[in-house]
């Protein structure tokens, strides 16, 4: 049964426990997307595009117990973001948070897990993590990005979007950690193996961000507050991590920013960051 948004009971924190925020992009590509975000009290996944087995394995790699997860947040219904959500949520008996329209677009395997729906653009909390959703331009039924606030930090997660309107730039202001899409190199896409119809989709305003668009955003829109910038959702056929790194670093240098730059490579787990 679908239920209205509810705040989860946070984990108890023992005396002397330190308050930190841990973030790890477990996967970020067209083959699967999932990001782990945790405080000392609350642990969530944003998207679940890996199998249950692989998700649990990657959590163990960073020293985290899958059984401690409190919830899963979903950005949109595409398979590379929801492939593992049903089995993970049912195994752990945890709720899945997603927009009302996205909830209707997912075909669940048998009985669905506990569903918590929200209106795109609304804010809510899971434990001690405050979550703000915002609409993104992508070819899904009701896609959203998120900013999360916890322990004085602001985290921005924005992938699968065709361009960066002012509304999204507004939401990403003041973030300390940003996971942003840098999907394709335009020239590689144009001469690559995709059919022309797919190329048009990727390049459209409801497709994916190019390296060039991301570079321009870094030069004139990236907030100087961003301490760590992770560029992800790279196309395996139409991009290369070193091209992404070079283009983005040049843009950061042009701004005089000392932002830590990390490229999340397809098929690989990104580093875990603790603050």
Residue 9, in any domain of the structure: no
2 within a domain of the structure (yes/no):
no
CATH number, domain of 90, equals: 3.60.15.10
- State how far the Cα of 96 lies from the Cα of 53, in Å rounded to an integer: 18
**How far does Cα 149 stand from its chain's mean position?**
14
Burial class (CB in 10 A: 0-12, 13-18, 19+), 258: exposed
Q: Tokens 């950061």 identify what position? A: 252
In a domain, 1, yes or no: no
CA trace torsion 214, 231, 70, 153 (10° rounding): -70
32 within some domain:
yes
In a domain, 75, yes or no: yes
pLDDT for position 10: 33
Instruction: Please compute Rg for the chain using Cα positions.
Output: 18
Is there a domain that residue 274 lies in?
no
Work out the burial of residue 63: count CB atoms within 10 Å of its CB; fewer than 13 is exposed, 13-18 middle, 19 or more buried: exposed
Q: What pLDDT score does 3 carry? A: 42
Per the structure, the count of domains in the chain is: 1
Residue 11 located in a structural domain? no
Instruction: From 196, 259, 257, select the one nearest 230 (Cα to Cα).
Output: 259
Domain span at 36: 19-268
Whats the size of the chain, residue-wise?
275
Which residue positions in the chain have pLDDT lower than 50? Answer: 1-17, 19
What does the alpha-carbon distance between residue 234 and residue 29 come to, in Å, rounded to a whole number? Answer: 6
For residue range 224-239, what is the model confidence (pLDDT) as tens digits? Answer: 999 999 999 999 999 9
- Residue 24 phi, psi dihedral angles, 5° rounding: -145, 115
Nearest-10 Cα torsion for 65, 18, 131, 53? -10
* pLDDT of 109: 83
Six-digit token pair at 239? 């991009």
Residue 275 lies in a domain: no
pLDDT for 110:
86
């Amino acid at each position: 049964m679908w239920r209205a948004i509810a705040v989860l009971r946070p984990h108890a924190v023992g005396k002397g426990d330190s308050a930190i925020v841990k973030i790890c992009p477990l996967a970020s590509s067209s083959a699967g997307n999932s990001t782990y975000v945790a405080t000392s009290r609350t642990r969530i996944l944003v998207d679940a595009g890996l199998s249950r087995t692989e998700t649990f394995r990657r959590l163990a790699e960073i020293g985290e117990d899958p059984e401690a997860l409190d919830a899963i947040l979903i950005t949109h219904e595409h398979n590379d973001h929801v492939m593992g959500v049903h089995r993970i949520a049912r195994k752990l008996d945890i709720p899945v948070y997603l927009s009302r329209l996205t909830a209707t677009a997912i075909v669940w395997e048998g009985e669905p897990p506990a569903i918590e729906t929200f209106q795109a653009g609304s804010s809510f909390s899971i434990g001690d993590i405050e979550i703000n959703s915002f609409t993104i331009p992508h070819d899904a039924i009701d896609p959203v990005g998120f900013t999360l606030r916890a322990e004085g930090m602001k985290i921005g997660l924005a992938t699968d979007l065709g361009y960066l309107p002012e509304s999204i730039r507004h939401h990403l202001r003041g973030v300390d950690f940003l996971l942003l899409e840098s999907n394709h190199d335009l020239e590689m896409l144009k001469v690559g193996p995709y059919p022309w119809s797919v190329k048009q989709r990727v390049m459209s305003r409801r497709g994916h961000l190019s390296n060039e668009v991301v570079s321009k955003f870094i030069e004139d829109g990236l907030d100087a507050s961003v301490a760590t910038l992770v560029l992800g959702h790279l196309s395996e056929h139409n991009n290369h991590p070193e091209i992404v790194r070079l283009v983005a670093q040049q843009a950061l240098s042009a701004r005089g920013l000392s932002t830590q730059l990390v490229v999340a490579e397809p098929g690989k787990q990104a580093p875990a960051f603790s603050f």
